Structure 1
Amino acid sequence: MIGRPTQKHVAEKAGVTQSVVSHVMHGRECTIRVSEATAERVRSVARNLGYQPNVSARNLKRQRTGMIGVLHGDGFPLMKLYDSRYFAALMDGIIDGAFASGYTVGICPQLFSQTPEDAMADGRFDGLVWYSTFPSESNVERLKNCSVPIAIVHSHAAEFDNRFPTAICDNAGGIRLALEHLAELGHRKVGFAYDGEYLFSEWRLRRDAFLQIAPTLGIKPSLIDVRGDRSGLSKYLTLPVTQTAVIGHDEVLAAEVSNGLQAKGYAVPDHVSIVGFDSTHFCDLQSPKLTSISQPISSLGYRAVQMLAEVIDGQSPTPLETILPCGLDVRASTSSVKEALL
């Protein structure tokens, strides 16, 4: 009876060298060739013995920490972390991707500040997942000076001069799904609510796609700039509402518009249909439940870690930029036009 099975035990039982076992169990970092029959024999022996690679020993040998850090850059609205379930969904994907790639995840202390340099330079992470919707000069400068590999969520690679792998959703495709849904319900006057004071990259992409796509579907588009302090939303609610539907730049803003309209006596969706963007569990907590473009948040986190692991291993992810499709989750906040608002 042996204690905890080791690589040596597997090698002896399978009739191969420890180098072969290492290749089979950690194939991506080894260069020797092993036949599929031999590889399957090694895997079978490992399963029967209950052998699991020692990740800590492996990282020590490779002079790595086995840790991936998560932090945000300038331009990410911190309130969104609390108001929606976005952050939990993103972390689910990052953690799943890290585990599949042999890493653990650490949330940087600077996550909720605007000074992440310490976390980027102190050597405790093999790589970082940086999620930011705004390629500000300070963000770009920080990334250029960073000594560890980075993968970025919520930006296009071109926004950072194609220096880093990025994962982003198909924002225009998501807006098209929402507009097609509203057009099928008979809506011809649709507004897009956004924060023009903090117009982050993806919000701009969504706004521009809205203005471009709406006319092709016979919809007259209009913009509702709520402003950061929501003074624009307050002004909007004091005027007669002319739209029969409103799309928010995210689910939180869509809920604010919905609640504001209902407080003014408008029925949602009988008078005005509302559509959000993200579609986390937050939408199910609204009254009525919020129809929303579904952003593949967890998949974005998972893919970012996959690309980051490749960079850590000295590879170049192909493609450098991953764009994932959106869906549309129809709930109770949209319906056919029942009462035209003039």
Structure 2
Amino acid sequence: MYPPMVVDDEEIILRPMTCPHHFALYMSKPRSYRDLPLRYAELAQLYRYEKSGELTGLIRVREFCLADSHNFVVKDDAEQEIHLVLDLIERTTGVLGFEKGVDYVYRLSLGDRKDTEKYYDSPKEWNEAETVLRKLLQDRKAPHYEAEAEAAFYGPKIDVQVKNVLGKEDTAFTVQYDFVLPKRFELKFINDQGEEEEPVVIHRSSIGCLERTIGFLIEKTGGAFPVWLAPTQVMIVPIAEKHNDYAGEIVQKMRDAGIRVEVDARGETMQSKIRDAQNQKIPYMLIVGDREMENGTASVRLRTGEDLGAKPVSEVLKIISSKYLTKAQELW
């Protein structure tokens, strides 16, 4: 944590985590088993004073935006809730183009019964929680390995592990089974027998720290983002100045469809414009000249170097829109 700051006689603390605030929301009124599962999620701007030697580009930073959630569940429902969380994570990683077992694996992070200073001293609860996580990973046939003494102090967790370009393994997302903080914060609900009971809290993130995830994506793609993420999706390349008006018509149609498009109207050669667009990893280059103006077409080139030839503008617009809206990985 950063040290507290005093501003106008008021102590201010930079927020390092969301857990206490979500717990306060949970405790704001009495809860029944009928209220559960109860899920609080937010995009939280957080601050953690990482040591300078541990800072690494976008992968490890001191200020970051975390997609964080805390799911309060009846203990018997924890396994099913975590299945739903892993479904969400796998959908997210799939959209980003990360392949399970290739780009990432799961790590079952376990506690250490001997280290009672770091880990809550309740072997029975640790065994139960670890058994739940191990079973669901096995049931899903998910590629994973186990690591002792990697758990959070409040419970075991499933970490999504990605290797960065330096060969170091980093955690992209995490799912944590928490049976300790409900005790410390005295979280309760009334069960179906009319008695007080502690919930289990599932700490989870669907896309992790946005900066870190973008960092992993840059390393994986070399900046050649999928169409839906590319800052500029289409570059129009008019061959000569007289083709600028036709290029402008195509731009308007694409912008009306929500496509991010630019025109390279510089007085450079066509080859130079195409090379610059490819260097910028822009997915599509549409080249327009006399023939394209006459036929209502555009010559399509992909950033991969493929020349698809002249296509009707309406067809090009339809295909690019489809790839964009469906978050497809392929370009054509």
| TM norm structure 1 | 0.29
Using CA pairs under 8 Å that are at least 6 residues apart, name the structure with larger relative contact order, 1 or 2: 1
| More strand, by proportion | 2
| More helix, by proportion | 1
